[in-house]
Chain A
Amino acid sequence: MKAGDLGELALRNLREAVLRNSLTTLGVAVGVASLVAMLSLGVGLQELATRRLSNSGLFDTVIVTARRNMQGMRRPAANPAPAKPERALDDDARSEFARLPNVLEVYPQMRFPTEVRYNGNPYSTIVAGVPDSARGNGSYDGIQGSFFSGPNADEAILQIEFAKDLSEQTSTLIGKELVVRYAERQALAPQNGAGNGSGADAVDGGAGGFSIVPREKKLRIVGIVETEPAAGFGGFGSGRLLIPLEVASALRAAQVNDLREAVRATAGKPAYASLTVRAKSPAQVEAIETAIKSMGFGTFSLLDATRNLRLFFTIFDLLLAIFGSLALAVATLGIINTLVMAILERRREIGILKALGAADRDVKELFFVEAGVMGLFGGVLGVGFGWFIGRALTWGTNIYLHRQNLPSAHVFSVPWWLVLGAIVFAVGVSLAAGLYPATRAARLNPVEALRYE
């Protein structure tokens, strides 16, 4: 029989027992909805976690340091390969990194110890420079107060524990001023012709060395955060007092690597202890890391952690899919039941079809198409139901989050591949369910079928 005729006859047959077939299709729809809801929840949570972690700067970040030759600490190899010359992590390198594909921004790690004076009391802590790009990436979504008003604003954001050291009523700190005491590097003139002696520009780590001068800076507190995003990654400790990166750079505060850089010849150019290279997405971190390594620098990223995250969510999604499939398995039994009942009811009709020239294959295909159509309609309906369940879940979750004073979140995502996959899966499962009834119908003896009343 031609495909068009097969489809027409199948639809006609489905219409004849419309209530039973609708209920069976509804069963498939519920099964698919359960599957879609579960998987969408898994996908949504994965996206949420990835987005939040990406925003935290942990997973889209490569920390670049100058490669150190530490072979003196180890036993030398029998035939040691010649060591690559060490490259300085200077502005030239910074520009090269910025030109790499998929690099969003490159900025230096600015962390230095300081003494904060507030209400006449001294507090030792660590200052960290925050790039202005952190403003829109969600890292500071839960901030009490606000982010810096501008990249050069003399403002500070406090980590909550540090804020508690300053005042028990942390909310009262916002708008208040504090004083930061820090050690500023000041350039020294080059000695014995070392370096190029280009004055103040060559001071930071330049061949001329530097002296330390105590300085003070007044800052206004604008916000309080739970933790510093990316705390402890790429620095020597978490910053408890955050200031705009450009302000931190302008302070020329002495950092931990300054002593080492002072004794190294860097052609008079400023050298950084480390640079942070941010990728457009975590997926591009690996390529960027490889490119930077090939330039002769050391790198560090949390790539393995993102791999583990993907592994975790793959297993999580698999488990959700298994639970979601249980309802579909029940629906499959419904299809088998419906089609077996149809065979009993249409036994005589099958006999007539065979007497009129229908081959076993025609009868089998007819039942297959009926099962497939129920699967198709069930799949489409199920995706719709699943989507509604997801919307309801998101709505309910956001009400709960709102009551907990937490920002709203999309815990549910229905990507296009899930929509298509669920419909194809529903049709596939329905066809598999139709296999036994269709084969049974095809094997009916026409003479016996015609005798059936």
Chain B
Amino acid sequence: MTTGDGVAVRAERVSRHYRMGAAVIRAVDEVTLEIRAGEFVALLGSSGSGKSTLLNLMAGLDRPTGGAIFANGRNLSGLSSLELARYRSRTVGMVFQSFNLLPRMTLEENVELPLRLAEVDRGERGARVQEALERVRLEKRLTHRPSELSGGEQQRAALARALVNRPTILFADEPTGNLDSATGESIMLLLKEIQQKLGMTIVMVTHERPLAERFADRIAALADGKLLTGGVES
């Protein structure tokens, strides 16, 4: 779902400042960024550049200290805690560098978790889990726990979990950061496939420029909390 102008997410002069004693840390400083629906955007930058903080702000995990973020036309700053939780549940899918699967749950239970949180009917869940796992080609590993899977499989499982609620925007925070290059490439191919097949908007944080250049439609580069290039589609 997008607004009439085809923009999925728009950050307007967004800032996220932290106070540490007397010092003010400007993790994100007046960043303006527009991501169109169906676009694959890579947020590129070195460690501490503010790319993950910006991703968290756009994903509704954190609130900006300045500016505004519009997702599907709605200002996230104006949403209540409950509305923001619903936004994370129904509009957004998230993939993390360290997979963040719950180790005590099987693959099936991990992928089912967002459906429980979104209060999807029990009868519908099985098919949705199956569909998501088929998309990442893990449908035969339903009963396995994360510790029984390889790194690449765990990230594919995390991707299935992010997709199970059929979100419109996928945020991926260094999805290949914990994987070897071959496995990382397979994950990137999968992300690209999802973008193309489902028309999904993907925002990916990475510090690997070659990967970003190869798979993303656009690169937005950040340094010291400021956006250097790629804020708006040229």
Interface residues of A (CB under 8 A from B): 1-2, 4-5, 9, 12, 16, 348-349, 351-362, 445-447, 450
B62 interfacial contact with A, CB 8 Å: yes
What CA separation (Å) do A357 and B117 show in the bound complex?
6
- Rounded to whole Å, the gap between the CB of A351 and the closest CB of chain B is 8
- A295–B15 CA distance with the chains assembled, in angstroms: 91
Q: Are A354 and B116 in contact (CB under 8 A)?
A: no
Task: For A356, give its contact among B82, B88, B122 (CB under 8 Å).
Answer: B88
Spot the interface stretch: B89-97, B202-210, B221-229.
Answer: B89-97
Chain B contacts for A353, CB-based, 8 A: 113, 117
Q: B118 contacts the other chain (Cβ, under 8 Å)?
A: yes
A240 to B61, CA, bound (A): 90
Option from B85, B104, B161, B165 in Cβ contact (under 8 Å) with A359: B85
Chain A residues with CB under 8 Å of B113's CB are: 353, 356
Taking a contact as CB atoms closer than 8 A, the residue among A1, A352, A360, A450 that contacts B116 in the complex is: A1
- Chain A nearest CB from B109 CB (Å) reads 9
Q: Cβ of B114 and Cβ of A356 under 8 Å apart?
A: yes
A348 touches B88 (CB 8 A): no
A-B interface contact total, Cβ < 8 Å: 66
Contact of A1 among B62, B90, B117, B165 (CB under 8 A): B117
For residue B171, give the distance in angstroms from its CB to the closest CB of chain A: 9
Distance (whole angstroms) from the CB of A446 to the closest CB of chain B: 5
CA distance A351 to B81 in the complex (A): 14
By size class, the interface of chain B is 20 to 34
B85 touches A355 (CB 8 A): no
Cβ–Cβ < 8 Å partners of A447 in chain B: 56, 61-62
Top 9 nearest A-B pairs by Cβ distance? A357-B89, A359-B85, A5-B116, A357-B117, A357-B88, A356-B114, A446-B61, A352-B100, A447-B62
For the complex, what is the distance from the CA of A360 to the CA of B113, rounded to whole Å? 16
Separation of A450 and B105 alpha carbons in the complex (Å): 18
The answer to whether A356 and B61 have CB atoms under 8 Å apart is no
Is B166 engaged at the interface, CB distance under 8 Å to the other chain? no
Give the distance to chain B from A251, nearest Cβ to Cβ, in Å.
Answer: 85
Knowing A1-B116, A5-B116, A445-B62, the reply to whether A360 touches B81 (Cβ < 8 A) is yes
Q: Which residue on B lies nearest to A12, using beta carbons?
A: B104
Q: Flag if B82 contacts A357 (CB, 8 Å).
A: no
CB within 8 Å of A: which B160-181 residues: 161, 165
Closest to B161 in A: A356
| Chain A interface, >50% SS class | helix
Cβ distance A229 to chain B, nearest Cβ, rounded Å: 68
Q: Which chain B residues border A4 with CB–CB below 8 Å?
A: 122
Min CB distance A270 to B, Å, is 82
* B100 and A358 contact, CB distance less than 8 A: no
From residue 75 to 117 of chain B, which have CB atoms closer than 8 A to chain A? 81-82, 85-86, 88-90, 94, 96, 100, 102, 104-105, 113-114, 116-117
28 A-B residue pairings within 8 Å (CB atoms): A2-B116, A2-B119, A5-B116, A5-B119, A349-B102, A352-B100, A353-B117, A354-B85, A355-B61, A356-B88, A356-B113, A356-B114, A357-B88, A357-B90, A357-B118, A357-B165, A358-B85, A358-B89, A359-B82, A359-B85, A359-B86, A360-B85, A362-B85, A362-B117, A446-B62, A447-B61, A447-B62, A450-B100
Q: A16, A348, A355 — which one has the most chain B CB atoms within 10 A of its CB? A: A355
Inter-chain pairs besides A12-B104, A354-B88, A358-B89, 10 sampled, C-beta below 8 Å: A2-B119, A9-B116, A353-B113, A356-B117, A357-B85, A357-B114, A358-B85, A359-B85, A361-B82, A362-B117
Given the interface contacts A2-B116, A362-B117, does A356 sit within 8 Å of B62 by beta carbon? no
- A352 (CB) vs chain B CBs: closest residue: B100
Residue in chain A with minimal CB distance to B83: A359
B86 lies within 8 A of A357 (CB): yes
Q: How far is the CA of A355 from the CA of B122 in the complex (A)?
A: 21
Residues of A within 8 A of B119 (CB): 1-2, 5
Query: In the assembled complex, which residues on chain B have CB atoms less than 8 Å from the CB atom of A16?
Result: 104
Q: Are A354's CB and B114's CB within 8 A?
A: no
Q: Which B residues lie within 8 Å of A354 (CB)?
A: 61, 85, 88
In the complex, the chain B residue whose C-beta lies closest to that of A15 is B104
Give the Cβ gap from A47 to chain B, nearest Cβ, in Å. Answer: 49
How far does the Cβ of A276 sit from chain B's closest Cβ, in whole Å?
A: 69
Give B185 Cβ to nearest chain A Cβ, in Å: 25
Within B50-73, the residues touching A (CB, 8 Å) are: 56, 59, 61-62
Q: Chain B residues near A445: list those with CB within 8 A.
A: 62
CB-CB nearest in chain A for B115: A5
B62 closest partner in A (C-beta): A447
Q: What distance in Å separates the Cβ of A203 from its nearest Cβ neighbour in chain B?
A: 90
Q: What's the least CB distance linking B80 to chain A, in Å?
A: 10
Which B residues are CB-close (under 8 A) to A360?
81-82, 85
**Contact between B94 and A355, CB atoms less than 8 A apart:** yes
Contact partners of B114 in chain A: CB under 8 A: 356-357
Residue in chain A with minimal CB distance to B89: A357
Partner of A450, one of B81, B96, B104, B165: B96
Chain B residues with Cβ below 8 Å from A355 are: 59, 61, 88, 94, 96, 100
Contacts of A359 in B (CB 8 A): 81-82, 85-86
Q: Which of A4, A12, A349, A450 has the most CB of B within 10 A?
A: A450
CB-CB under 8 A from B56, the residues of chain A are 447
Closest to B171 in A: A355
CB distance from B71 to the nearest CB of A (A): 14
Chain B residues positioned under 8 Å from A1 (CB to CB): 116-117, 119
B62 to chain A: which residues have CB within 8 Å? 445-447
Give the complex CA separation of A447 and B55 in angstroms.
11
